[in-house]
Amino acid sequence: MNRITWERSEHAGHPIDVDAAVIETIFNGEVAASSKSGEIVYTGLYNYAMPLIRYMIGDVVMASDEVCPCGRGLPLMKHIEGHRTHSCGPLDDQVVSSIIWTLIMQQISGVDQSKAIQEKKNLIMIQIVRDQAYTEATARQILHDVQEVMGEGMHVDVEIVEEIPRDKSGKARCAISKVAAL
């Protein structure tokens, strides 16, 4: 799967290498509409010894019906959002990329480190390691900003922790979902 897509200098999206793979973007068992997120389903065209046919690799991308502006007519993937277990789903069944948590928390004073854990479809736990600028207003700002992205019906719990534990792999994830997605 080393030849699925790449980013071109125009930054118009990621052209799909149709000579090497068939890529589908699936959401809730159906082909995702253009500009909607879905999981990549991969069929490789070169591995004859052990073919991967309609293999769900776990990555979430934004579907597109556009073609690459390079002139070759390659279909585009608009945005690579990350792995599905690191994405969360708001109440409207869309997918929110894990990068949004980094962007939200960078804007809030008083947060040194954070991790979003979607416990249920309507419940997100935000773990934070606070810094010297933390006040009670910090927690209210987190609640406001998360509900702005995930919907007002999303219940948000903020938990102050001493440290954000790393995964077994050693990676520090900014978000995980315990909810079956896509």
Per-residue pLDDT 10s for the chain (182 aa) are: 456 877 777 677 788 888 888 888 888 788 888 877 788 888 988 888 888 899 887 777 777 888 888 888 888 887 666 655 555 555 455 566 666 777 788 889 999 988 888 888 888 899 999 999 999 899 999 999 988 888 888 899 999 999 988 777 676 777 887 876 54
The identity of residue 181, as a single letter, is A
Whether 66 and 111 map to the same domain: the answer is no
In a domain, 39, yes or no: yes
Whether 20 and 66 map to the same domain: the answer is yes
Distance CA 133, CA 146 (A): 20
Whether 77 and 18 map to the same domain: the answer is yes
In a domain, 123, yes or no: yes
In a domain, 93, yes or no: no
Whether 103 and 173 map to the same domain: the answer is yes
Note down the domain range covering 139. Answer: 99-177
In a domain, 66, yes or no: yes
Whether 106 and 170 map to the same domain: the answer is yes
Q: pTM score, two decimals?
A: 0.55
